[in-house]
Structure 1
Amino acid sequence: MFEPKMYRSTISFIESEAPNCLANINRGIEKESLRVTPDGYLSKRPHPKEWGSALTNQYITTDYSEALPELITPVTTGREGPRQWLFDIHSYIYQHMENEVLWLGSMPCIMTKEEDVPLADYGSSNVGMMKHIYRRGLGYRYGRYMQTIAGVHYNFSLPDDFWPKLQSHYGDNSDLQTFISEQYLALIRNYLRYCWLLPYLYGASPAICKSFTKGAGGEFLTETDDGTMYGDYATSLRMSDLGYQNNAQAKFSIRHNDLYEYTAELERAIRTPDEFYKELGVKIDGEYRQLNANLLQIENEYYAKIRPKRVINSGERPTQALNRAGVQYVEVRSLDLNPYDPVGISQSQIDFLDVFMLFCLLQESKDQSDRENAENDENFRRVVYFGRKPDLNLLRNNRSLPLKEATLQIFEEMRPVAVLLDKCNHTRAYTKALSEAIEMANDPSKTLSGRYYKDIKSSAKGYFGYTMELSAKVQQQFLSQPVEPRVQRLFEQEAEKSLAEQQEIEKSETLSFEEYLEQYFAE
């Protein structure tokens, strides 16, 4: 499974030649949470004006729904930077929520009718209407319930001065950006091989409110009188078929062996009509239901566990940006909200992710095949549904291997990376995070899902009651602490600036929406 000789020699090289680089890892976080009323129902209020424009505010936007704010940290190089930014953003937004609460669970609160989930509103500009209609299309395609699920996305990249050193060590003579893109794709391939580790350790959705299921999940879930449905060994129902799903995506195969192969397959998906989506209709009685009737309306509809990314230019699509300038960073998308942390992700989780991502980068990474992809998907499925089951086995090259054995073996291989990061950052945090993960491998009750499952059961309040209690406590925690003046000024200024930017975009519009769409999707 591993290539210790090459792997160890690369770590030794980095330790001697590039330690300062690894003190400057680039990190950013995007964190979603539902806004709910004090009695636990989805908020019907619009995006608060004090938060600025959801279209142009760089820190506070919305995901699918007006009731699903997304908080975005800027890129920082300090270990603790992302969490500090998240704390500051939370401090500000809680002052402008009119007694609403941010729901701490990844799976939603009490759900009523599908049409009660309000779509995000980005104004009247072409780009704003495109974002709104895309979300309307998601609702028609998959239902609005699915779009109320929340999580954390972790953006990771190595600093610019790291890459020439690694390229020299590997004896690679290609263009530097080509080398960087290839290395990020190699990281992604290894991530997909081992990413079942993340729901095992940090999955935090072993239970859901019955109102969300509409009777689904009977073979996997146990229902109780308090309106909760449990997966007795589940880790992340958010990442199961009960959560994010797109059966149409089985019609195309995404591999990460070559950047242009990857982007070409996504391009094919956004240009290939789907019979069911054609039946839904694109424009009915003068109103758009979806952007188009293709397998994907846009690239972001592909529900990937991880994505290669590059910051896009105005009007540019993600695949165009990747083809133009290569991979700039990767976005990890397999993380549930941590209900025990006020900002949804702990520092220990971030430290572990740094170790895990660097481990995936430095290891040998063979090309993907459809057979291996199917095996990886099956391992992930087993862990999200049954990850805490004592006798659970995973697959490796068609052979069965106990989950605990596989986990501990990978952690042992990760240890040199944790030691390296500790040395480069003058800390012991990385080896400590790995040690905590090893404890969870040895005792599933110490995982986030194990703790959450036990606490929900012990509370006798069910998923909704216990999560509402946790959410209300965090609300009071933030409301009881005054916002620092510098934080208040920063986000007030950004809110004012973003509203002005949205108005300017709307005033300067010259194309009709149909012309804008045609130009956006031009080959």
Structure 2
Amino acid sequence: MTNLNYKLPKRLELLLDNNGQDLISGGLKGIEKESLRISADGVIAHTAHPKALGAALTHPHITTDYSEALLEFITPPFADTKDTLDYLNNIHQYVYDQVKGEMLLAASMPCGIDGDESVPIAEYGTSNIGKMKHIYRTGLWHRYGRTMQAIAGIHYNYSLPTALLKKLHKLEKSPLSLEDYTAAAYFDLIRNIQRQGWLILYLFGASPAICKKFFKSRPHLMDQFEEFDQYTLYHPYATSLRMSDIGYKSKNQANLHIDYNSLSGYVESLSQAISTPFPDYEKIGVKVDGQYRQLNSNLLQIENEFYSIVRPKQIAFSGEKPTLALKRRGVRYIELRSLDLDLFSPIGIKPETAYFVEAFLITCFFQKSPPLSQEDHRTNNQNQLKVANHGRKRGLELEQDGEEMPLDDWADQIFAAMEPICQLLDADQKASPYRDALKKMQETVQDQELTPSAKILEQMTDHKEAFACFAIRASAEHEKHFRKHHLDPKLTHTFNEMASQSLAKQRELEQKDQIPFDDFLAHYFAQK
């Protein structure tokens, strides 16, 4: 260990004392990556989801998020990060092989939009579940606007190694069942991500600027920014405006008190938000002139509406509420939602980012994780917003345990905690990808010009170009990269089969006898 003053966490020390170090590696990693389809001239696509890609409702790996133009690629979970990234690359290659005349926007913040009406809401067909997905998105439009929903990002999914949890359950002599111990372990991890997750925004934030047209439907928000040029607004030291109040995090949800101290508390508090009426949303109406405007008029329509940097997840059965899936079968993995698309990578994420994030999550798991108070939630949110808006400002201080702490010093503490984890993860590697990633991120804290956000502003300045021009230029470079290659024929056949099967599955859903949609919705929310 290079930092002799760093004391190993009790949980990690216990594992090492009992020769359990090999159990740290092998957690499953999956990635969900969103990208807007845009035309060659940089305008958001108004074409339907390409049929060659299959049905967005039923395809396991290629779907849409909020908008018909917002593609979402979902990898299976793999133990080896390289396999995860290779699969993500293969999806990109397949999409470019199938879709002509359009490209994927490389940026998280949308370009080529012109107000809410320019963003088409995703369509999922005539089945009840398809209608529900579309109406949910219609509700998001009425509540938050469509432009905010066109923002894209990376979700990094991670599950702790099962053998590691079993070993620690035994070593710690936990009175809990293994399932309850596992849930508690994931919430330990989640609370520490909330405390230290600002570091992800600093290191990987890639949205320091925004097109002015993003604010066409919400012009009052423009006043808080400086003007980069006649088309672009920005904060000079911003890292991830996607994660600020005008992007991913919503002021509408600022007063939601979701409990992250236990699985039962989380499920109960989230369920309460889904069942609590909200006057502003009641004014919108639920079903007006025979047409649904939203699924309900409560604080949240469904669980997914709660915007958070990290979520506990369990695979839900078709039509099953996510909170019920968690209650019935516990936590299966966590979803880290705070990664911007990396404009300097054709697939939106670099290998060193993936290696660093895994090591960071494992470090958060091993660290002591006391319960969070409402004041802690406020502090964590304020730290995240500070870094999102002004993270590269020299001497920026964050609040740690009631005291001001320079960002650089706190980052050094996190890096010191990560060192032994990176060494253990590298033990079975021919190279040292985890330590190399850690070293690179240490350098990025020492030199803020190495951050993606600083590089973006530097290129915009050097080329005298608006953010949209930079983003479209980067997108065109990525398109050129994929157009030069083609997917292996066997893999193409596999993806073609998945597309065909997804279309058949959607047709099957739509041809089945269905109960009236009103009854379907009532049954969905009546689940207990």
What's the TM-score bracket when you normalise by the shorter of the two chains?
A: over 0.9
* Corresponding position of 2:254: 250
Q: Which residue of 1 aligns with 2:106?
A: 104
2:332 aligns to what? Answer: 328
TM-score (normalizing by structure 1): 0.97
Give the aligned CA root-mean-square deviation in angstroms: 1.6
Paired residues of 2:128 and 2:514 also in contact (CA < 8 A): no
Q: How does 1:67-216 map to 2 (within 5 A)?
A: 67-214=69-216, 215-216=219-220
**Contact 1:283 / 1:290 at 8 angstroms: preserved in 2?**
yes
State the shift of 1:189 in Å. 0.4
Structure 1 residues 186, 23: CA separation in 2 closer, same or farther (over 3 Å shift)? closer
Is residue 202–residue 451 contact of structure 2 (8 Å, CA) maintained in 1?
yes
C-alpha displacement of 1:402: 0.9
**In the alignment, which of 46, 49, 73 is matched to residue 47 of structure 1?**
49
Is the contact made by 1:422 and 1:430 (CA closer than 8 Å) also made in structure 2? yes
Pairwise CA distance, 1:454: 1.0
Secondary structure in 2 matching 1:474 = helix
Out of 500, 503, 512, the residue aligned to residue 499 of structure 1 is 503
Q: Distance in 1 between matches of 2:222 and 2:330?
A: 44
Q: Against the structure 1 CA distance between its residues 86 and 377, is the aligned structure 2 distance closer, same or farther, given a 3 Å change threshold?
A: same
1:164, distance to aligned residue in structure 2 (A) = 1.2
2:297 maps to 1:293: yes
Among residues 362, 375, 379, which one is paired with 1:375 in the alignment? 379
Q: Name the counterpart of 1:479.
A: 483
The partner residue of 1:513 within 512, 517, 524 is: 517
Q: Is the 8 A contact 1:54 1:61 kept in 2?
A: yes
**Alignment match, 2:38:** 36
Q: Which residue of 2 aligns with 1:352?
A: 356
> Residues of 2 paired with 1:80 and 1:115: CA distance?
40
Question: 384, 392, 405: which one pairs with 2:396?
Answer: 392
Measured after TM superposition, the shift of residue 140 of structure 1 is: 0.6
Equivalent residue, structure 2, for 1:266: 270
Relative to structure 1, the CA distance from residue 99 to residue 15 in structure 2 (aligned partners, 3 Å threshold; closer, same or farther) is: farther
1:120/1:218 Cα in 2 relative to 1: closer, same or farther (>3 Å)?
closer
Q: What is the CA deviation profile of residues 349-377 of structure 1, one whole-angstrom value per residue up to 9, with x for unaligned ones?
A: 00001110000000110000011111111
**Aligned partners of 2:11, 2:51: CA distance in 1, in Å?**
54
State the one-letter code of the partner of 2:492: Q
**Any unmatched runs of 5+ in structure 1?**
none
Does structure 1 residue 304 correspond to structure 2 residue 311? no
Using the TM superposition, give the Cα deviation of residue 10 of structure 1 relative to its aligned residue in structure 2, in angstroms: 1.7
- Name the amino acid aligned to 1:390: R
CA contact (8 A) 1:11 1:416 kept: no
Q: Partner of 1:313 in structure 2?
A: 317
CA contact (8 A) 1:22 1:425 kept: no
* 1:221–1:232 contact (8 Å) kept in structure 2: no
Paired AA for residue 384 in structure 1: A
How high is the TM-score relative to the length of structure 2?
A: 0.96
* Alignment-mate amino acid for residue 295 of structure 1: L
Letter in 2 for 1:443: D
Q: Contact 1:10–1:169 at 8 Å: present in 2 too?
A: no
The range that moved more, 352-361 or 19-28, is 19-28
Q: Which runs of 5+ in 2 are unaligned?
A: none
SS in 2 for 1:17: coil
| Equivalences, count | 521
* Cα 1:82/1:61, change in 2 over 3 Å: same
In the alignment, residue 71 of structure 1 is paired with which amino acid?
F
Corresponding position of 1:420? 424
**Offset of residue 312 of structure 1:** 0.7
Contact 2:115 2:215 in 1 (8 A): no
Report the Cα offset of residue 174 of structure 1: 1.6
Report the 3-state secondary structure (helix = DSSP H, G, I; strand = E; otherwise coil) of the residue aligned with 1:404: helix
Deviations 1:101-158 (A, max 9, x none): 1000000112213112111111100000000000000001100000000000000012
SS in 2 for 1:401: strand
Deviation digits for residues 300-331 of structure 1 (CA, Å, limit 9, x no counterpart): 00001100000011221110011101111000
Query: Within the alignment, does 1:239 sit opposite 2:243 as a pair?
Result: yes
